Structure 1
Amino acid sequence: MTNPGSYALPYDGEAPPPMQMMEMLYGALATQMISVAAELGVADALADGPRPVAELATAVGADEVALFRLLRGLAGLGVFTETAPREFGLNPLGETLRSGVKGSMKEIAQDVGGRTRLTAYAELAHSVRTGEPAFEKAHGTSMWNYLQTHPEEVALFGKAMGNLASEAHSVAFANYDLSDARHLVDIAGGEGWLIAAVAPHYPNLKATVFDEGHVVHAAGELFARVGIADRASGVAGDMFESVPAGGDVYVLSSILFSYDDPEAGKVLSNIREAMDPGGRILILEPVLPDGNGPHPGKLLDVTQLALHRGGIRTVAEWERLFASCGLKLAETRVMWPAGPTDMIIAVPADQ
C-alpha cells in the first residue's frame, strides 16, 4: 500500500508521449521562471551559501511565499536546490545565474525571458505563414531599430552577448592558434569582449573592434582594463558600407545568422575587399546538422525566424554563400556540446 502523503508512478521508464508534450509546452514558463530569478538576483544573494527563503526574500525584495513557490519550481527543474525545508542554495546550474562569474548566463536569461522577445515570439505564426519576422509584426519595426530607441535594452543585450561571447570564445579559441596573426578585426564586435578575451594571449597581435558608434565607444575602457589599450582600439562604422582594411584575420561572432544571404554576402564581400593577402575569416556560429537529433542550432534557427531575416546555415549553404562573394570554405570546426557555437573558416577563393 502506498503510504499517505506519498505517490507511486504508474509506469517505469520514459514518460508517455502526452506527458512529454506537456513538459515541452511548459518550457516557456520555465524560461520565465529562470528569467525572474536572474532579474531578482537570487543567485547573487546565495553566493555565500544557502539561506532561508524568508531571509532571501528580504534580500532580493520579493514576497516570501511567492519566492518559495518560484524556487521550489526551479529546484524541481534542477536550477537551485532546497538544502533544508524552505532553505535554498546554489548548484552548478544556479551558479550560471550569478553576475560576473565564468560561464554566467544571468543577462542572457533576462534578455531571452524579457517582455520584448516574448511579445515577438507570440507572433511566430505570422513568421511561419509569411516568412516575415515576428518581431516586426509585434513591435512595428526591426529589432535593430527598436534597440536604438531603447537604451536600457541595448545595455542588457550587450551584456547578454558579452556573457555568451566569453563562453563561446574561450571554447572556440582554446585550440585555435593565432600566433601567426598580425591584425585581428572583430566585425560587429560590440564592446570588444572577443578581443579582450583573445588578445592578452598574443602580445604581438594588433586588434580592432568595429561596430556602430553607440556600442563601440565602450571598448576603450574594456581594453584598458585588460591591459591591451596600446594595441587594441574601437572603430565606428557600418559593416554594410565598408570595414576596416589591413586585417589578416576577420572575425564575425554570432552576426551573420541574423541576416539573409544578400545582406550576409554584402558583409563578406566588404571583408574580402578589405583583407590583406593571405587573410582569413573566422565565423563563430552553429552549423546546422542533418537528421532528427537535438541541436541548439535548430532552436536558434527558429529564433532568427522570429526576430530577424536570417537563419542557421548548413555546410552546403555556407559553401554557396561563400562562392557568391569570392570566398571558399577552408574548414569547419564543430564545437558543440563543449561550447555554444562552431567555427567556420573562409578564405579567398583564389587562395
Structure 2
Amino acid sequence: MPAVGPGDVPPAVRMYEMLYSSLVSQLLIAVAELGVADEAGDSPRHVDELAAATGSDSNALYRALRALASVGVFTEVTPRHFALTPLAETLRSDVPGSMRDLARYVGMPERQRAFTHVIHSLRTGKPSFDHLHGQDWWSYFADHPELGALFNGAMSSMSRMVGSATLDSYDLSDVNLLVDVGGGRGVLAGTLAERYPGMRALVFDLPRVVPEAEAHLKAAGLSERVQCVGGDFLDSVPAGGDTYVLSWIMHDWDDADSVTILRNVRKAMDARSRLLIIDEVLPEGDVPHFGKFEDIVMMTLLTGQSRTEAEFVALFERAGLRHVETRPTSSSMSVIVATPV
C-alpha cells in the first residue's frame, strides 16, 4: 500500500482531527488566563520560569506550549525555551490589537457550558444559554457586572480590529458627526476620531456602559470631540448625525428586533445621512467563512444570526432604507452601506 501523503488524509482521520480541534481553543483560553504571553516578553524563556511566573506546573505548561507551538502559537527555539510568534503576541495585554480579553471572554464557563448544550438549540431553535441559566444573555450580564466588564473588554478588542479594517477600506473624511449606535466603550469612535481630526462623534449605549466609555475617551484625550449618551436603541437613537454606525451589533438580534433598531436609526437620520453596518456578510453555498460559525454562537447564546447580503437588504426594505453597497475589509467583516429611501 502506498504511503499516505499530507494531502491524502482519509476522511476518518480528518474527522478525528476535527473532533479534537476544540483543544486548541481551550489551550489558548488557558494560557491567556494565566498571562503566559505577558510573561514570555521579548526574548525566549525557559518553561520553568514561565511556570513560576504564572503559578502553573512546569511539565504541564510545557506540554501545552509544545502543542500550541505546533499550530504556530509560540515557538520552542531550544529545548524547553519558548518565544512568542506573531499569533502569540496577540495574547499579550500590552500590545495594539491585543486579543487576551477576547480569549478570556470566550473561555467564560457560562459561555462554554452553553456550547456543550448546543443540541438544545438544534432541537428547539432557542438559545441553550437561556435554558441553562434561566435568563437571557443580556439580563445575565446585568446581574453579573464583573462578567459584563469582561464582555465589554472583549468587544473593545473586536472594535480595535474592526476599526483598523474599516479605516483601510472606507473613507470617512467627509463626516461631521458620527453616531456609533451600541458603541460600547467608545473604542471604534475614538479610533475614527483620531484618524479624522475634523470629525465629532457620539457614542450611544446603555447607561451602565457610559461611565466606561467616558473613562476610555478621557484617557485618550478625546472627551472634547466624542460625547457619550445613555439610552436603548430598541427605543430610540439620537438624531443629528450625518453618519450612523452599527458595528458588530446586527448579528446579536433576530429579524424583528433588527428591524426595530434600523427603523429607530432611520427616524434619527435626515435625507443626507448614511448608515454603515460593520458585520459579517455570509457568502451563499459551501464557500468557507468564519461568520458561518459565528452564526452558531448567536444561535446558542442569543436570538440573533449572521446574514447574507440578501437578508440585510430585506431588513433594509422593511425599515425604510436602501442598500447602496457592500464593501469587504481585511477582516471577516464587511461594510454594508445604506441610505434613507
TM-score by length of 1: 0.94
What are the residue-to-residue correspondences of 1:55-74 with 2, within 5 Å? 55-74=49-68
Q: Which moved more, 1:234-243 or 1:24-33?
A: 24-33
AA in 2 matched with 1:344: I
Helix, strand or coil for the counterpart of 1:286? Answer: strand
- Alignment-mate amino acid for residue 157 of structure 2: N
**1:305 equivalent among 299, 304, 309:** 299
Residue in 2 that maps onto 1:283:
277
The answer as to whether partners of 1:332 and 1:342 remain within 8 angstroms in 2 is yes
RMSD: 1.3
SS of 1:69's equivalent in the other structure is helix
* 1:200/1:226 contact within 8 Å kept: no
Say whether the 8 Å CA contact 2:169–2:328 is kept in structure 1: no
Residue from 181, 191, 195 that aligns with 1:197 = 191
> C-alpha distance in 1, partners of 2:56/2:219?
35
- Deviation of 1:81 after TM superposition, in Å, equals 0.8
Structure 1 portions without partners, runs of 5+ = 1-8
Q: Is the 8 A contact 1:249 1:281 kept in 2?
A: yes
1:292 correspondence with 2:290? no
User: 1:174-193 to 2 correspondence within 5 Å?
Assistant: 174-193=168-187
**1:11 matched residue in structure 2:** 4
Distance 2:181 2:60 in 1: 44
Task: Find 2:91's aligned residue among 92, 97, 109.
Answer: 97
Aligned partner of 1:344 in structure 2 is: 336
After TM superposition, the structure 1 = structure 2 runs for residues 1-351 of structure 1, keeping only pairs within 5 Å, are 10-14=3-7, 15-335=9-329, 338-349=330-341
SS at 1:210's partner residue? strand
Q: 1:123, 1:137 within 8 Å by CA — same for their partners in 2?
A: no
Cα displacement (A) at 1:226: 2.3
Please list the CA deviations of residues 204-237 of structure 1 after superposition, one character each: whole Å capped at 9, or x if unmatched: 2121101111112122222222222112111001
Structure 1 stretches of 4+ moved >6 Å: none
- 1:3 is matched with none
CA contact (8 A) 1:181 1:205 kept: yes
Contact 1:167–1:340 (8 Å) recurs in 2: no
Q: Deviations over 1:173-225 (max 9, x none)?
A: 22312122111000111110011110112222121101111112122222222
**1:51-101, CA deviations, whole angstroms, 9 ceiling, x for partnerless residues?**
111111011111111111111111122211111111111111111111131
In 2, distance between residues paired with 1:295 and 1:260? 20
Measure how far apart 1:109 and its partner are.
1.2
Q: Distance in 2 between matches of 1:91 and 1:181?
A: 38
Q: Indicate if the aligned counterparts of 1:79 and 1:94 stay in contact, CA closer than 8 A.
A: yes
Counting aligned pairs with the same residue, the percent is 45
**Cα distance between partner residues in 2 of 1:218 and 1:153:** 14
Task: Rate the CA distance shift 1:100–1:342 in 2: closer, same or farther, 3 A.
Answer: farther
2: CA distance between counterparts of 1:108 and 1:146? 18
CA–CA separation in structure 1 for the residues paired with 2:68 and 2:173 = 44
Aligned residues: 339
Deviations 1:274-305 (A, max 9, x none): 11321011101010001212110110111111
SS at match of 1:217: helix
In structure 2, C-alpha distance between the alignment counterparts of 1:10 and 1:55, rounded to whole Å: 42
Counterpart contact for 1:187–1:243, Cα < 8 Å: yes
Preserved contact between residue 210 and residue 237 of structure 1 (Cα < 8 Å)? yes
TM-score (norm 2): 0.96
1: CA distance between counterparts of 2:286 and 2:244?
Answer: 33
Does the Cα contact within 8 Å between 1:283 and 1:344 map onto a contact in 2? yes
Structure 1: distance between partners of 2:204 and 2:142: 17
Cα pair 1:284 1:344 within 8 Å, conserved: yes
User: In structure 2, what is the Cα distance between the partners aligned to 1:223 and 1:326?
Assistant: 33
